[in-house]
Structure 1
Amino acid sequence: MPHTTITTPAHAPARAAELAALATGHTQRFPWYRDLLLRRGTPGSGDLSDLPLLGTDLLSAHYYTADHPHLPDASAYHTSGTSGGRRKRILYSPADEDAYVAQRRQLFGEFTRSVPRGAVAVADLGTGHAAASARRVFSELGFAAHDIDFTRPVDEHVAKLNAWRPDVFFTMPMILDRLLQARPGLNIRPRKIMVVGDVAPPAWRAHVAERFGLRPEDVLDVFGSIEIGAIAYWCAQTGLYHFHDHILPEVVPARELARLTADDWVPSHQEGSGALLLTSLTRSYFPAVRYVTGDAVTGLRRIRHDGREVFAFERIDGRLAGDFKHGERISNHDLVQIMAEVFPGRPFEAVDDDGLVIRVVTDTVGDDQLAVVRSAVDRQAPDVAQMIASGLVGPVRVTAVPPGGLRSGHAKRRLDLREG
């Protein structure tokens, strides 16, 4: 179905009251955010451009590892990657949980409308908020819901899936790749597949669809994060990723982001490519206002589709900062620290080539160096270590490249995702 790109301002004045209420609510829940707005002279602002960017530095100092005794009803979820030796903790209120489940339920309900209720739905997602919530989403949709403990070996995952024979399967691209390589083999015929957590470009989705005898549109790529929750999803009709209605997206040119701080004035953007900022109108226990996701996207725009106006973008280009995915998260901070210890002074990049591959400018990578890198990743990211031990993702690989051989062309590391 065709769509029309809208060129009017990205964030209509009608949402000014919502933004003002959102900012005010966060100042009441998070005193440090109130102080930040007071310092800028923009308390309770209804204009996105008046509000500061919230990046890793601010959140690490005031949120991720801080105590929040005034939020006693919060559910806490932890990332597997760390910065400074402590795992990030992200809080959800009961209302946050309900909003997330409602957003996923609406999307998955529409996507699986051809599958009869009472059919089997299975989630195999590793750890984190999406994994913890999937069974509730499927149950509320009327499916016979199951999930699989990510700590179990990959052959047990295959055995459970072969026994349950799901009609609906929700997993991660990296996990699905491992399941398809396992022996004895995976013998299921799902009618709908949803994936989240890693990039799933069109070529990958087409391959998965062919493997299971499905149409490419029967494989749904979902974009989310533990901080925000449900963010966006691929739309087969437009060929774009559509943001959920609670999201106000922006982009900032990636080259400028490194120079920006919370005290800089940053205008809101309607369309283009660059570093993605997100504001959520439904998140209460995470200050999701101009949150710097660390993702780079192409083609952010506002479109009219199926009688509605929605924000959309073309593709996720990669990670700019924050953390990398190898089944679960590995902090960029930790990757830099590990490589500085094992390969001091050597430029490197981390790429997603069917799993994490670290490409370092050196003559050779010795077995002892590879062992030290893998041991350090295991220590810093225990959930990743468990997924490797279970066989759900492969071991971290480290390869030598000649000078000038880095794909990014930069002297320093860069995190790239698979090309479509």
Structure 2
Amino acid sequence: MVQQLEDLPLLTSTVLEEHYYICDHPFEQRLDLHRYQTSGTSRNLRKNIYYSEQDEDSYIRIKTEVLDVILHNYQAIRALVDMGTGHAAATAEVIFSRLGFEVETVSFQLPIEQHLERLATFRPDVLYTMPSILDRILMAADNPVSYGIRKVILVGEVASLTWQQRVAERLGLEKGDITDTYGSIEIGTIAHYNHELDRYIVVDGIIAEGLTPQELGIHELELADDERVLVLTSTVRDMFPAIRFVTYDVVRDFQPVMVDGQSRQSFRNIVRRVGSELKHGEKISIYDIEDVVFQHVQDASIKVLTSNNLLTIQIINKSVSLDPHILEAVKHDITHRIPEIGIMIQNGLLEEIRVTHVIFDDSQHRNAVKLKRIHNSKEVL
């Protein structure tokens, strides 16, 4: 008999691939459902995620509430939505319109010059975008402050606090004017960053658990004492079995906090994603690497690649060259300040890492919306 949530089985990627991410899904023929696609499964199938009208209404309501909280101190009237093709992009115009904004959208696949033209002519108070797209904008813009952006809301990728601070400086903003949100296509909006508490606060309608790898049955994975894998149950999701859904996202310092007199689940940051089949890349945190790189380099983005036992960090900016001493300093600090990488090198799982400089070329970035992840070097660079 089930007496508490923990008595129920975990909804793992294996279970979903056997029963939900399947060809000829019974939902596929239903014309009353919304279907969204996301990255592939271990069988190289695109994931189809289904939303009923009730799901869609709940998603829009919750996201509207979250953005209203984020924007409550801003006298803003114009919002530019500059992002990919997923659920957040599909609903953003409706959500900002409900909040009383004049809204324009731009496709991430357009040349970056057209993004800059739209920013210059529309002059949005609020920019709703993804970190990888914002990297492209800042790399190409001569004077990003001139666009008059007063608030940036992020979605879709890990955004380290160090990276956010650099973005704020480039846009002439305070750190608190950059706010990250966290969600998934399966669950919807999950959490948003609270600058007063310096933590991500889980939204209403979601019950979050922080589990160890051993509790998940991933015995070959070791996490730091303050790290947990996030597991979520949604009380509003209809067409997805959102009960103890394993996100495979690793968060730090998972604990409840008081917000406006109520206990809310929270965590300090998201550091990486792991999978049931561990690779070296899943022990490496983009968040931690960005923190190190931005101690040495400004106005740059990074790309992390793995190939067998080789780890390469590309530092991408508009400069023709980068001082070799800076590259060496980044390499030293990544090796010595990120314990997971240092241990993998000591144990022979990684060779000595390589840090290189790459000149920014937007044509190499516009076809892939999410760049803040660990890339396999076989992928197109």
* TM-score exceeds 0.5: yes
Q: In structure 2, what is the equivalent of residue 407 of structure 1?
A: 341
Q: In structure 2, what is the equivalent of residue 144 of structure 1?
A: 102
Q: What TM-score results when the alignment is normalised by the length of structure 2? A: 0.72
| 1:357 is aligned to 2:315 | no
Aligned Cα root-mean-square deviation (Å): 3.2
Q: In structure 2, what is the equivalent of residue 98 of structure 1?
A: 57
| Aligned partner of residue 121 in structure 1, secondary structure | strand
Q: In structure 2, what is the equivalent of residue 277 of structure 1?
A: 231
Structure-2 change in CA distance of 1:408 and 1:285 (3 Å) = farther
Which of 242, 245, 270 is 2:204 aligned to?
245
Q: In structure 2, what is the equivalent of residue 9 of structure 1?
A: none
Q: Is the 8 A contact 1:276 1:292 kept in 2?
A: yes
Q: In structure 2, what is the equivalent of residue 59 of structure 1?
A: 16
Give the letter aligned to residue 58 of structure 1. V
Q: In structure 1, what is the equivalent of residue 158 of structure 2?
A: 199
Comparing both chains, which one has the higher relative contact order based on Cα–Cα distances under 8 Å and sequence gaps of 6 or more?
A: 1
Q: In structure 1, what is the equivalent of residue 5 of structure 2?
A: 48
| 1:298 is aligned to 2:256 | no
Q: Is the 8 A contact 2:254 2:268 kept in 1?
A: yes
Structure-2 change in CA distance of 1:110 and 1:210 (3 Å) = same
> How far apart are residue 150 of structure 1 and its match?
2.3
> How far apart are residue 272 of structure 1 and its match?
5.7
Q: In structure 1, what is the equivalent of residue 315 of structure 2?
A: none
| Aligned partner of residue 407 in structure 1, secondary structure | helix
Give the letter aligned to residue 129 of structure 2. T
Q: Is the 8 A contact 1:348 1:361 kept in 2?
A: no
CA distance in 2 between partners of 1:171 and 1:178 (Å): 11
| Aligned partner of residue 287 in structure 1, secondary structure | coil
Structure-2 change in CA distance of 1:138 and 1:46 (3 Å) = farther
Q: What TM-score results when the alignment is normalised by the length of structure 1? A: 0.65
| Aligned partner of residue 217 in structure 1, secondary structure | helix
Structure-2 change in CA distance of 1:355 and 1:97 (3 Å) = farther
| 1:154 is aligned to 2:112 | yes
Give the letter aligned to residue 213 of structure 2. A
> How far apart are residue 256 of structure 1 and its match?
4.5
Q: Which runs of 5+ in 2 are unaligned?
A: 220-224, 291-300, 313-330, 351-371, 375-381
> How far apart are residue 221 of structure 1 and its match?
0.8
The aligned runs of 1:58-207 (5 Å cut-off) are 58-66=15-23, 67-69=25-27, 72-116=31-75, 119-182=77-140, 186=144, 187-207=146-166
| Aligned partner of residue 209 in structure 1, secondary structure | helix
Which of 165, 181, 186 is 1:222 aligned to?
181
> How far apart are residue 178 of structure 1 and its match?
1.1
Q: In structure 2, what is the equivalent of residue 308 of structure 1?
A: 262
Q: In structure 1, what is the equivalent of residue 240 of structure 2?
A: 286
| Aligned partner of residue 238 in structure 1, secondary structure | coil
Kindly provide the CA deviation profile for residues 262-290 of structure 1, in whole angstroms up to 9, marking residues without a partner as x.
xxxxxxxxx96311101111111111111
Give the letter aligned to residue 86 of structure 1. L
How many pairs does the alignment contain? 306
Structure-2 change in CA distance of 1:279 and 1:408 (3 Å) = farther
The aligned runs of 1:17-56 (5 Å cut-off) are 45=2, 47-56=4-13
Kindly provide the CA deviation profile for residues 58-95 of structure 1, in whole angstroms up to 9, marking residues without a partner as x.
10111123412485421010013443121011111111
Which of 272, 278, 290 is 1:318 aligned to?
272
Q: Which runs of 5+ in 1 are unaligned?
A: 1-41, 261-270, 323-331, 337-346, 366-400
Give the letter aligned to residue 151 of structure 2. K
| Aligned partner of residue 249 in structure 2, secondary structure | strand
